[in-house]
Amino acid sequence: MTALTLIFSTQLTHLAPIDILILVLYFAVVIFIGFYVKGSTNTSEEFFLAGREMSAWVAGLSFVSANLGSLELMGWAGAAYQYGMLATHWYWIGAIPAMLFLGIVMMPFYYISKTHSVPGYLQLRFGEGARCVSAVSFALMTILMSGVNMYAMALVMNVILGWNISFSIWVGAITVAVYVMLGGLRSAIINEVLQFVLIWAGAALIPILGLVEAGGWSNLKAQIAHNVGSTDYTHMWTTLGHFRDNPMGVHWTGIVFGLGFVVSFGYWTTDFLVVQRVLSANNLRAAKMAPIIGAAFKMAVPFIVIVPGLLALAVLKNPDGSILHLVGENAVNAQHPYSYNEVLPLMLIRYCGPGLLGLGITALVAGFMSGMAGNVSAFSTVWTYDLYGAFINKKASDKHYVAMGRWSTVIGMLVSIGTAYLVAHAASIMDYVQALFSFFIAPLFGTVVLGMLWKRATKAGGFWGLLAGTVSSIGMWLYTTYGGAAALSRIALSADARPMAENLYRALWSWIICVAVTVVVSYVTKPTPEAQLAGLVYGATPIPDDGATTLWQKPIFWAVVVIIVFFILNIVFF
């Protein structure tokens, strides 16, 4: 993602006393919450799964908020400036179908298996080998991502406000460590819900005032078409007929199958960081409803992310009245002082004076801190249950595991701080961390979905499929990284493909390889007795009634409503 290489040229603004008051209030409330919920965080289920007592609304908002970090906000606002409405695909087809699939199809298995984590489900279905591969890779990724978030926050605060990098890193890390160590997942979830509200409160004024300034949506489209000399920036599908017809260099097959199916389903249904939020639901119906509620809110996010990027194409001007062109980080110079990634701060400063600016900055800080907290709380769960509890100390008391969860939170934050300083000295590490994530997500989805839907999948099939998919993804990444344009054209099926397309097609191929290897190995190995699959696989599990009695209570009804709105939005912005 482009936001991972944020490079800003100058300090953009400064905070007034009222802005600092708003920021301080946020920190005070967050720390207070940590101390407040500590009393309800004594058992492992309370610490790691928030006592499984969250309502559908809390779990759903937390589920969508865990993904709504500041890196995403700033990165995709920049992508909207660069690619136009094509960036919206990452919020709609790249999220909504997968979230609904998680709620309706997969959640019953995660929930009724009473697993504490996604690696935990893999252990139940495919044995210790699959769990070990998944847990080690996930623990490593989350701790690295926490550090990346920490450094990104420090960098953004440095360039927007001139804050010292180390000051931002340590204040953010200590605050997050305190509230997660005290309250575990419960603290993280409460803060994610707060952060969701804050992000809307801090960012919604940008599109509202921007659309007023532009004279409405129709005028905005006309101004963009005039400024960039093309109407392509305000359509989602019409330019996807060929790789060379759109600025992203992708084809609709890559968007539909690579993004909409593999990448999206992989992230939203198997990344424990988001799935953990839903596992905290207080009953099966809440667990099914949470991703559907999350999907409904996810569809609205482009309003505060994509619209500001589009508005920047129309309204940002130089002092002499000419159009202000934002450029890639590597092209920033005296003539072009701002990069794509500065779209959101630039638009914030354009419309928000003292007070509102503090609210916007607080929303960004909340987004970064919530990103750190989400990663660290997921790390401490997987470390304690799937690594420490599974391989190092299997028979400790519940109290011991809670203590381990608290200590692993602190150790995790210290490692994250180390990562943040490492990234500060070698920014390219951020790109590698992002690439590492992509190695595991697509194959993991192949393994989990076959495990849930296909009784014949065996333990050996699951393990070798996961390993083959991951290794092939790494192999393709190395091939396209060092093989130049020829390698990219082979992986993405076109000489006109650009790096964005490579991610999508690599995910698709690695998923297909994972599924193919799982199927072949399963057929040549001994089937798992059906009795051992109860509660884990479709066809071997009676799905318990979720307790819905009226149409309004049925998750499937709301999933249909969301998918209808999803189709309407895609047609309107076709």
Partner 1 sequence: MAEGTGRGEALSIWFFVGGLALLYGLVLTPYGAWAWFTHHEAPTVLNQLHPTFWWGLLMSIFGAFYTIRFRPGKG
**Chain residues in the site for partner 1 (CB under 8 A):** 18, 21-22, 25-26, 29, 33, 36-37, 39-41, 46, 50-51, 53-55, 58, 186, 189-190, 193-194, 197-198, 201, 205, 209, 212-213, 315, 349-356, 359
- Phi and psi based region of residue 544 (left: phi greater than 0; alpha: psi -120 to 50; beta: remaining): beta
Shorter beta-carbon distance to partner 1: residue 15 or 132: 15
Q: How many CA atoms lie within 13 Å of 470's alpha carbon, on the beta-carbon side?
A: 18
Q: Contact 466/444 with Cβ under 8 angstroms? A: yes
Shortest CB 358 distance to partner 1, Å: 9
Contacts of 292 (CB under 8 A, 6+ apart): 60, 99, 100, 103, 104, 555, 558, 559, 562
Shortest CB 182 distance to partner 1, Å: 12
Q: What single-letter DSSP state applies at residue 282?
A: S
Shorter beta-carbon distance to partner 1: residue 354 or 547: 354
Shortest CB 46 distance to partner 1, Å: 7
Shorter beta-carbon distance to partner 1: residue 350 or 400: 350
Shortest CB 35 distance to partner 1, Å: 12
Q: How many CA atoms lie within 13 Å of 124's alpha carbon, on the beta-carbon side?
A: 23
The rounded distance, in Å, linking the Cα atoms of 408 and 428 is 27
Burial classification of residue 149, based on how many CB atoms lie within 10 Å of its CB (0-12 exposed, 13-18 middle, 19 or more buried): buried
Shortest CB 398 distance to partner 1, Å: 17
Q: Contact 102/278 with Cβ under 8 angstroms? A: yes
Shorter beta-carbon distance to partner 1: residue 203 or 559: 203
At residue 71, φ and ψ (nearest 5 deg) are -60, -45
Shorter beta-carbon distance to partner 1: residue 53 or 329: 53
Closest CA to 56 of 558, 448, 561, 449: 558
Shortest CB 41 distance to partner 1, Å: 7
Shorter beta-carbon distance to partner 1: residue 22 or 515: 22
Shortest CB 533 distance to partner 1, Å: 34
Q: What single-letter DSSP state applies at residue 104?
A: I
Shortest CB 124 distance to partner 1, Å: 28
Shorter beta-carbon distance to partner 1: residue 85 or 224: 224
Shortest CB 197 distance to partner 1, Å: 5
Which amino acid is residue 356, in one-letter code?
A: L
Q: Contact 65/193 with Cβ under 8 angstroms? A: yes
Shortest CB 101 distance to partner 1, Å: 26
Shortest CB 24 distance to partner 1, Å: 11
Shorter beta-carbon distance to partner 1: residue 108 or 360: 360
Shorter beta-carbon distance to partner 1: residue 46 or 271: 46
Tokens representing 231? Answer: 């109407």
The rounded distance, in Å, linking the Cα atoms of 188 and 412 is 15
Relative orientation angle of helices 343-351 and 70-83, to the nearest 10 degrees = 90
SS3 category, 114 = coil
Shorter beta-carbon distance to partner 1: residue 281 or 387: 281
State the DSSP H helix or E strand holding residue 122, giving kind and residue range, or none if neither: helix 118-126
The rounded distance, in Å, linking the Cα atoms of 240 and 236 is 8
Q: Contact 258/507 with Cβ under 8 angstroms? A: yes
At residue 281, φ and ψ (nearest 5 deg) are -65, 150
Shorter beta-carbon distance to partner 1: residue 180 or 194: 194
